[in-house]
Structure 1
């Protein structure tokens, strides 16, 4: 039957309805808080960005942030929203101070959209502005004004205070993870030297900006030379070469952490290569110059253009309004400042050259091994033997489904068989390991090519050269909840942290949580992930209910598995601690301290204490 298309089919949405119906247009993906780019963190960022913009304009040196698993409270000490426009600034699209370039220069916060999105996507939202001895408050529910009292006198210091609770109707089973917030707030501190952020009472403060960032994010004892720190108008760069694998970048635009890079990162990589070649008067291979580099790049751009509302990738080509291209601006800065630095610091220049020549030797030594390994990978018929692939991939570049793409790394035929039968073949793939992987701690990347399992895994993920072409947004380790399973999990983690740490830094690696118990009676079945959930299920279904203890993934039938890898899938993110370099972490878990590692495995298992209560 043909559906008629008439005037009655045309519908106009108000601003609240549009944001709530199409939240992805405003905050990217939704998520439950397990990934650092999930929507609940974008909501917090939108509010924080406005506070940072106040600081950049010279108003307020302190920001107070209090966050529980559900509620967010942010208080700055800037000028405060003009009292007559408080409601409009948080509830009227196309209203805000960022449209007046005289009041805000080179801002990243979008008072025109961001705060309104937070309002519309919160079950509770309260704005409070304090300005010159007066204050104005307003309360909202899902963007709808609920309370609008008149202006009242106050003795508090000027500023704005925002309180909001993300709407559980939009963000299912969400929670804020402190480690993700920690990284976010430290980045704000590094990019705004002199600013103090108090997060749940903890102080975040940096004196030397990006120098401090690299000092904290890298292994100081492995630095091949002292950190090079260069600063200019609208640009700041810090760089170091170490002994790690790959390239490690932290890029920012107007204080926004652009996790996917963009034109400023491309300009840095190109400018660095040209400057180094010109300085040493040698046509080095690009890979040799950039191997083992760690760099932080911050740019201030008026009216930046990002490739999405979440601002994770810079699309701007020019440094408006001057019209100078970002490529030329960054390249000229490096050619002048890095070249001068190397001329003035001969020892640093000599050490940098030594690192480049070492990378060149290693690359040439690896060439033959890589060629043979890649030939073996093709012969292994990857798509049939090890990898049960899905149809959509992250590097397809188009479509929202690509962000849902997931590969489960399993061990053993029974576990991989259950997941393979239960998965969504559009977005979920399965890679099967054979037995325990090799402990690759302290081994060179040569082992990745010589070990069939590792070589096939890097090919499956498509990360041999760079993670920019990663085929799956979520890389999920799925092992049994027993001693062997925990050991295998640590070995896989070691592989990624040793050779592909950027995969972890960018929030792609997870641990699959599967239920330990099934509690059921004749009417209902409840799956429980811990002892507390089991006790609640028994209280609800009765003490005589049947209890099944799952000891391995293979014991869970494909029909049951579909519940655990669907919309309610529980993933525990693997997060690199901001205060601990990767090498220290690897040494603790996979070094010679075997008793400590055994203690860690046993302490993190749920096996024995749970079995005792069954």
Structure 2
């Protein structure tokens, strides 16, 4: 065997904690990303910093947190007790150091592993930590996790608290990484909903909630509710729920203030408790799917020492509420059976509306059963020759860690599918090819999914017929041409998901692939541009004599080029319903039969090319 493949004592390496964090950042903050997605690592850095401030507030210290963003530098100031001055350096730079191992100092904290702030420090090109305690101040500065300057303790007239300032390292996050304000604001709103009485300020804007999870649901709702929001709470638990007119289930779950986007044992217990309580109240064994159809709910619990399934804390793995407490399942089920049952007895009109909703869902499910079976038989035959799906090997929910990277690209036509398929990562990237413009589903019932072969095959590929629990891909990416037809197909697909599977969007799974509009190149250098402004910048750099190619369709891009656009440099624009208050009204206007109204809107809002240039 060649010498370079020898496995000897010299092959064994020991890394310092700092080296390990920088070499394997994904173990600490999940994927790095460039800031285009809410789950990207730069937002985890902010969250880890604010979590410490929230823990101070939870313990009764400090009612205000200030967050400031200037380009790529984030500053966070709380007014808690302040880190003990003699341990400031240790707390922000030495792994497995912190007060949260002492349950008497921090009860039911989010951060229990002593890693978070050290990761922020290690992954930042510059990092400053300052603590003020009882008239004294300590400041220390770092560069990429290494001390650059330690200042002496000095007198201070500032209020007690901790100040953290950091700039993520572009060597790790890429030269083009950027923070998106809407993702930070969403994070701060969640903190506000879960910590009533706390004020968070972001670049001068206050975030505060008096209604807790009830306020969260009001902000998240994208349509009318069938009955008033149920808002119930007790020690260590708060729940808000209602039913709407949409398909699917929509949940927002939290543990100790941490948004568990992947759910976990507490969400499973809540769904079970909801079903058992409603069955008990009505005295009927309704199907669980009929009870949960169209539900929108938020649940927050506090656990003594939570165990999460990853460092980024997106899924709870704990089964116990605390060392001496009941199981999480017992706790939540008992709470629901007492408080939700009481609410239903006190609100008979809402209870009757809920009963009618459940029975309507039951009727629709039974009506669909026949056509669903026929569709499945048809699909079995079609799948023998179906080439729409070029699947990948790893999927969401499997034991393999790369399942979180699983992506399905929905493309128009075989040409684009061919380019993508030829250069994709076969381990984690799948391709689903449409045969043309899909059906406009506005105003249609769910049976259209089973009557329309293309939609049925897409649903089967995603494995979402019985809900999101079986979703096979973490990212659902719409990849259409950069022309009018491509935009139309994109709109039809998004309308389909908004109508029948909104949780795909609300849970952050859906994005639109950005592909370059121009290629600008010389013999020495090639640049891909995603806008007219980027093209002009490239021409300024490469010279006016550079060759310019305008890409219209994905099929025009060679597999060799496409590999760059779906790899590390992928640009994804998340699809969100965060600012939509009525999806039925929205779809009705853009996808309904009100052609004159739409025509008038287009004429009133039309902007000519010269207007855009002047703007």
Do 2:112 and 2:305's aligned partners in 1 also have CA atoms closer than 8 Å?
A: no
Cα distance change of structure 1 residues 4 and 411 upon mapping to structure 2, 3 Å threshold: closer
Matched with 1:572 is 573
Shift of 1:364: 0.8
Residue of structure 2 aligned with 1:595, choices 588, 595, 599: 599
> Match of 1:250?
252
Partner of 1:183: 186
Which of 221, 230, 233 pairs up with 2:232? 230
**Cα offset for 1:161?**
1.1
SS of residue matched to 1:64: strand
Residues 263 and 315 in structure 2, CA contact (< 8 A), matched pair in contact too: yes
More displaced stretch, 586-595 vs 279-288: 586-595
User: C-alpha distance in 2, partners of 1:194/1:394?
Assistant: 38
Contact (CA 8 Å) 1:382, 1:456: kept in 2 or not? Answer: no
Cα distance change on mapping 1:612 and 1:78 into 2, 3 Å? closer
Matched position secondary structure for 2:39: coil
**Which residue in 2 is equivalent to 1:520?**
521
SS of 1:206's partner is coil
Query: 1:535 matched to which residue of 2?
Result: 536
Counterpart CA distance in 1 for 2:91 and 2:473 is 39
What is the CA-CA distance between 1:569 and the residue it aligns to? 1.6
What corresponds to 1:202 in structure 2? 205
Q: Deviations over 1:113-137 (max 9, x none)?
A: 1000111111111111122222111
Map of 1:240 onto structure 2: 242
1:611 & 1:300 partners in 2: Cα distance?
51
Distance in 2 (CA, whole Å) between partners of 1:9 and 1:210 is 53
In the alignment, the residues of structure 1 paired with residue 601 and residue 403 of structure 2 have an alpha-carbon distance, to the nearest angstrom, of: 37
- Structure 1's 69 and 443: CA in aligned 2 closer, same or farther, altered over 3 A? farther
Which SS does the other structure have where 1:394 is aligned?
coil
Contact 1:46 1:110 in 2 (8 A): no
Distance (Å, rounded) in 2 between the aligned partners of 1:12 and 1:293? 51
Paired residue secondary structure (2:440): coil
The match for 2:560 is 559
Is 1:334 the counterpart of 2:360 in the alignment? no
Q: Which residue in the other structure is 1:267 paired with?
A: 269
Question: How far apart are 1:379 and its partner, in Å?
Answer: 1.8
- Answer yes or no: is 1:407 the counterpart of 2:408: yes
- Rounded to whole Å, the distance in 1 between the matches of 2:271 and 2:453 is 32
* Structure-2 residue corresponding to 1:363: 365
**Structure 2: stretches of 5+ with no match in the other structure:** none
Residues 597 and 309 (structure 1), Cα distance of their counterparts in 2 relative to 1, 3 Å cut: farther
1:388-407 correspondence runs (5 A): 388-395=390-397, 397-407=398-408
8 Å CA contact 1:31–1:171 kept in 2: the answer is yes
Q: Quick check: 44-53 or 154-163, which moved more?
A: 154-163
- Asked if 1:301 corresponds to 2:303, the answer is yes
Alpha carbons of structure 1 residues 589 and 552: separation in structure 2 relative to 1, 3 Å: same
Superposition pairs of residues 424-439 of structure 1, within 5 angstroms? 424-439=425-440
Alignment pair present for 1:87 and 2:89: yes
- 2:56 and 2:62 in contact (8 A); partners too: yes
Q: TM-score when scaled to structure 2?
A: 0.94
Matching residue of 2:446: 445
The answer as to whether partners of 1:394 and 1:402 remain within 8 angstroms in 2 is yes
1:584–1:299 distance in 2 versus 1, CA, 3 Å: farther
**Aligned counterparts of 1:339 and 1:546: Cα–Cα separation in 2:** 70
Q: Structure 2: how far apart are the matches of 1:514 and 1:490?
A: 17
Q: SS state of the match for residue 73, structure 1?
A: strand
SS at match of 1:419: helix
How far did residue 332 of structure 1 move? 0.8
Q: Which moved more, 1:16-25 or 1:380-389?
A: 380-389
Does structure 1 residue 217 correspond to structure 2 residue 220? yes
Partner of 1:132: 134
SS at match of 1:75: strand
> Normalization by structure 1: what TM-score?
0.94
Could you tell me how far 1:413 is from its partner in structure 2?
2.7
CA distance in 2, matches of 1:78, 1:582: 42
Which stretch shifts more, 441-450 or 508-517? 441-450
Q: After superposition, give the CA deviation of every residue in 1:313-364 in whole Å (9 maximum; x if it has no partner).
A: 1111111122311111111111111111212222222111111111111111
Mapped pair 1:472 → 2:473: yes
* Partner SS, residue 66 of structure 1: strand
Deviates more, 1:383-392 or 1:278-287: 383-392
Report if aligned partners of 2:394, 2:400 keep a CA contact under 8 Å in 1: no
Determine if contact 1:78/1:158 at 8 Å carries over to the other structure: yes
C-alpha contact (below 8 Å) 2:222/2:577 kept by paired residues: no
Residues 449 and 104 (structure 1), Cα distance of their counterparts in 2 relative to 1, 3 Å cut:
same
1:415 shift after superposition: 2.0
| 1:340-351 equivalences in 2 (<5 Å) | 340-351=342-353
On the 8 A contact 1:210/1:229 being kept in 2, the answer is yes
Q: Is the 8 A contact 2:250 2:506 kept in 1?
A: no
Greater Cα offset, 299-308 or 152-161? 152-161
Instruction: Give the secondary structure class of the aligned counterpart of 1:211.
Output: helix
The 8 Å contact of residues 481 and 553 in structure 2, kept in 1 or not, is answered as yes
Name the SS of the counterpart of 2:170 in structure 1.
Answer: coil
Q: Give the Cα–Cα distance (whole angstroms) in 1 for the partners of residues 580 and 451 of structure 2.
A: 33
CA distance in 2 between partners of 1:601 and 1:379 (Å)? 48
RMSD (Å) for aligned C-alpha atoms: 2.2
1:509-554 Cα distance to aligned partner (Å, 9 max, x none): 1111111111122222221111222122222222112111112222
The answer to whether the Cα contact below 8 Å between 2:142 and 2:148 also exists between their aligned partners in 1 is yes
Alpha-carbon shift at residue 20 of structure 1 (Å): 1.0
- Measure how far apart 1:8 and its partner are: 3.4
Structure 2 partner of 1:287: 289
Deviation at 1:384, TM superposition (A): 3.6
Take 2:134 and 2:77, find their aligned partners in 1: how far apart are those partners?
A: 16
Equivalent position SS for 1:494:
helix
* Structure 1, 40-49 or 194-203: larger mean CA deviation: 194-203
Aligned length: 608
- Would you say the 8 A contact 1:93–1:113 is kept in 2? yes
Encode CA deviations 1:453-511: one digit per residue, 9 max, x unaligned.
21111111111112222222221111111111111111111111111111112221111
Runs (5+) with no aligned partner, structure 1? none
Q: 4+ residue runs of structure 1 moved beyond 4 angstroms?
A: 2-6, 596-603, 608-613
SS in 1 for 2:254: strand
